A and B are shown apart, each in its own frame.
Chain A
Amino acid sequence: MLAIAARRLVSMLLIMFVISVLLFLFFEGDKLNLAARVLGPYSPMTGRLAWLEHNGYNRPLMTRYLTWIYGFMRGDWNQSAQFDAPVFDFLLPRLKNTAILGACVFVLTVAISLVLGVFSGIAEASKRDRAITVISVLTTSVPEFASATFLVAIFVYWLDWLPGSSSFNNGFSWREMILPVATLVIYNFGYYTRMTRASMAEVMNSQYIRTAVLKGLPYRQVIIRHALRNALIAPFTVMILQLNYLLSGVVVTEVFFAYDGYGKALYDAAMFGDVYLILAGAMIAVVAAVVSQFISDVGYTQLNPRIRFS
């Protein structure tokens, strides 16, 4: 067991290392281009060369990489050209905001998908099942910016119940969280519901559930003690991977609602060409994604007795 976890850990670290090298080369490989982006398109060539010299860009590639990665791990993520402030100081509160948003979305999605998925999976091909499936398919067909559009059209323009943007101009407000959370949850829950449903339906059709029923066990006991613990393994591990998706999905939603989170920061940086911000932001995203994958893998081996005790 420990061996499996250790092997995954090594694999994870290796992947992060490779990614860091790739990202580094991608962004800082072309020195001149980098200088042009940081200093602006109208900066003179002499200025750029001087800047490169001053900031140590004429050292060998290897040294530059090591300095950068060391700095990254310490929290020194360079200066943001956009805001003329250290990237770290700028990104940290943004990450906090996105974390709040993400946590709300995660909790709601897990709750909704598990409940709907289990209920539809138990009663395969029933009206209940069909209704839930239809809703799931519908909602996963509507991308975030489209559902945001509809939500805003209804709740902001027509009913005027909720604010149209979520920039927290007056401090934190739950009202401003509703629409962004709703947008993400609507797009998200359908997929996990269908996954849970499929897993539940497969388990309910299995032979060991037949055994449990033919042993004369009460229906509730069959579902709760026999079915769920097998059916929920796969959905659970997949839901942890939501983190990877959330980091991607928040970009559009945060931009749409002007929510000052990580996604918007990354987007603004991309529009501006703020190289250091993008680089740092990408590294963070990858670290978070890989960690969640690791947790999901290890969680799966723990939950599945066939692997845990083999």
Chain B
Amino acid sequence: MARLKKFFAAVGLLRESPVGMIGVGLVLFWVVIALIVGFLPLRDPLAQSAGDLLKPALTLAKDGGHYWLGTDDRGRDILSRLFFGSRLVLFWSSLATIIAYSVGMLMGVTAGYRGGWWDEAISFIGNVFLAFPQMVLFIVILSQLGSDSPAGQWLARMGFSATWVKGTTIVLAVMFATAPQVARIVRGLVLDLKTRDYVAAAEVRGEGALYIMLVELLPNARGPLIVDACLRLGYVTIAIAALGFLGLGLPPPDPDWGKMIADVRGFGALAANAMIWPALAISSLVLGLNLMADGLREIALRD
């Protein structure tokens, strides 16, 4: 009960920042859609309709209703593909970010607090991965770990669907690209925090390194880290959508937003409608995350 009250208090705090509220609104919109999409009266996102190719928005459909946002190059309803696609986007982006963040935090807090050899080793490993431009790293990893690679085949034999195989490799690639960045930020925060007297007080009463890192240090870094997490979720979403656009993302026919744009690119002006809606969808989600991060940053500064 007390926890619920604290949660509402935190949300209420957000009300102080109109920017943050808009951001939360946008993000919540997509989260809710993703959760309830199965219950909405939408057409099958995979159903192709040979007669209704690349129709613009608000076209009448054969089944009596409207194609509210038009159709794509195979006659599939764009609106339903967008909504169903939100599940994919939110799920994989969140999963990738959470994993990358967990690994990054552990790396950063160990490097920052333990210092010495730990710091050198972890920072070096981090620098190795940070030396790769992100997309290059993705291409390197994904080109070798595709479904035909030994790793992919092993996963397929275990019963994972193609989507999961690809998804796992994407999560791995994101982790390698993102965890070192998070580690660097956390390390910086910890280096600053560990000079505080309460850390010395914990040492002086004999606390172990793990306790100090997890209980004394990390909770006090939560302000900047929450802000960064929102931003990073945005970057990861963009990265995964870009992979989708390039065709390195989740396999068809799953409605990946990035792929939706790539699919219709070759059709010239006719494709304008089919391209714009996924682009708007992605932009709105990332905008929401960025605004949320900004709102949180304003509030944290005022605290």
Contact = CB atoms under 8 A, between A and B. Distances in A.
A245 B143 CA distance: 20
A76 B146 CA distance: 27
B21 to A, nearest CB: 14
A146 B131 contact: no
Interface stretch (B68-76, B159-167, B281-289): B281-289
A30 interface: yes
Contacts of B291: 137
Interface string B189-217: 00000000000000000000000000000
B268 to A, nearest CB: 7
A34 B134 CA distance: 24
Q: How large is the interface on B (under 10, 10 to 19, 20 to 34, 35 or more residues)?
A: 35 or more
B276 interface: yes
B10 interface: no
Interface string A260-294: 00010011011101000010011001100110010
Contact of A286 (B131, B143, B234): B131
A267 B290 CA distance: 29
A142 B276 CA distance: 12
A15 B276 contact: no
Contacts of B238: 143
Contacts of A278: 139-140, 143
Interface residues of A, number: 56
Interface of A: 11, 14-16, 18-19, 22-23, 26-27, 30, 33, 41, 137-138, 140-147, 149-150, 152-153, 156-158, 164, 244-249, 251-252, 255-256, 263, 266-267, 269-271, 273, 278, 281-282, 285-286, 289-290, 293
Which 10 pairs show the lowest CB-CB distances between chains A and B? A146-B279, A141-B287, A248-B133, A248-B135, A247-B133, A157-B269, A149-B279, A270-B143, A143-B238, A141-B286
20 contacts: A15-B127, A15-B131, A26-B140, A27-B144, A137-B290, A143-B242, A143-B283, A146-B261, A146-B280, A149-B279, A150-B276, A153-B275, A157-B272, A247-B135, A248-B133, A256-B245, A267-B246, A278-B139, A289-B132, A293-B131
